[in-house]
Amino acid sequence: MPQDLPVDPRGPRFSAWMTTVILAVVLLTGWWRLLAAQTVLFAMCAFISLKLNPWGHVYRFAIQPRLAPTTEREEAAPLRFAQGVGFVFALVGTLGYATGLTTLGQVATGLALVAALLNAAVGLCLGCEMYLLLRRYAPANARPQ
């Protein structure tokens, strides 16, 4: 898995706001193809590189130049882990909507939205906070190394 360099922490916050909007649209419309696209985006960021996140590029080119510079940096590993958690919820949500299990789709999408909104609004990474719990109850062969 390629390593990402530490990033300006305001970039992931912007990305989390965009994810929140997308997930809210999915909940309101039930448009599962949009959720499927978000699932692919989560997967690319979690398993390949954060550089593949288009919201990161929007932030760098359209927003960052308008903000005061910062020396603060955030490590990539927690961000990628959070994207992985988002991927799981979004995948379950997509499968739920696509197979007619709408309630499952709504619950999974709602949980992903909660995590994205907490990240965007207060900078809290719910998946990272729950890492120890997830690890404790994850099957041995599914634990991150």
Partner 1 sequence: MTGVWALVGALAVAGALAVLLKVREGRISRRTTPSADLPAPVRELLTPGVTLVQLSTTFCAPCRHAKVLLRDLADRTEGLTHAELDVTNLPDVTTRLGIMRTPTTLALASDGTEILRVGGVPKRDSLLDALRPHLP
Tokens of 121: 């609004």
> 26 with 90: CB under 8 angstroms?
no
Alpha-helical runs (H) found in 1-53: 10-29, 32-47
Query: Is there binding between residue 136 and partner 1 (CB under 8 A)?
Result: yes
Q: Which stretch binds partner 1 (CB under 8 A): 37-45, 48-56, 60-68, 104-112?
A: 104-112
CA Rg, the chain, in Å? 15
Q: Hey, what are 65's tokens?
A: 């130049």
Q: Is 98 in the site for partner 1 (CB under 8 A)?
A: no
By CB under 8 A, is residue 130 in contact with partner 1?
A: yes
Q: How far is the CB of 63 from partner 1 (least distance, A)?
A: 20
Closest CA to 42 of 30, 55, 32: 55
d(CA 133, CA 58): 34
Question: Could you tell me the smallest distance in angstroms from the CB atom of residue 2 to partner 1?
Answer: 16
- Tell me if 62 contacts partner 1 by CB under 8 A: no
List 34, 37, 95, 118, residue binding partner 1 (CB under 8 A): 118
Nearest distance in Å: CB 60, partner 1? 20
Given the rule CB under 8 A, which of 34-42, 51-59, 63-71, 125-133 is the region that contacts partner 1? 125-133
Give the separation between CA 75 and CA 88, rounded to whole angstroms: 22
Q: Mask 64-93, x = binds partner 1 (CB under 8 A)?
A: ----------xx-xxx-xx-----------
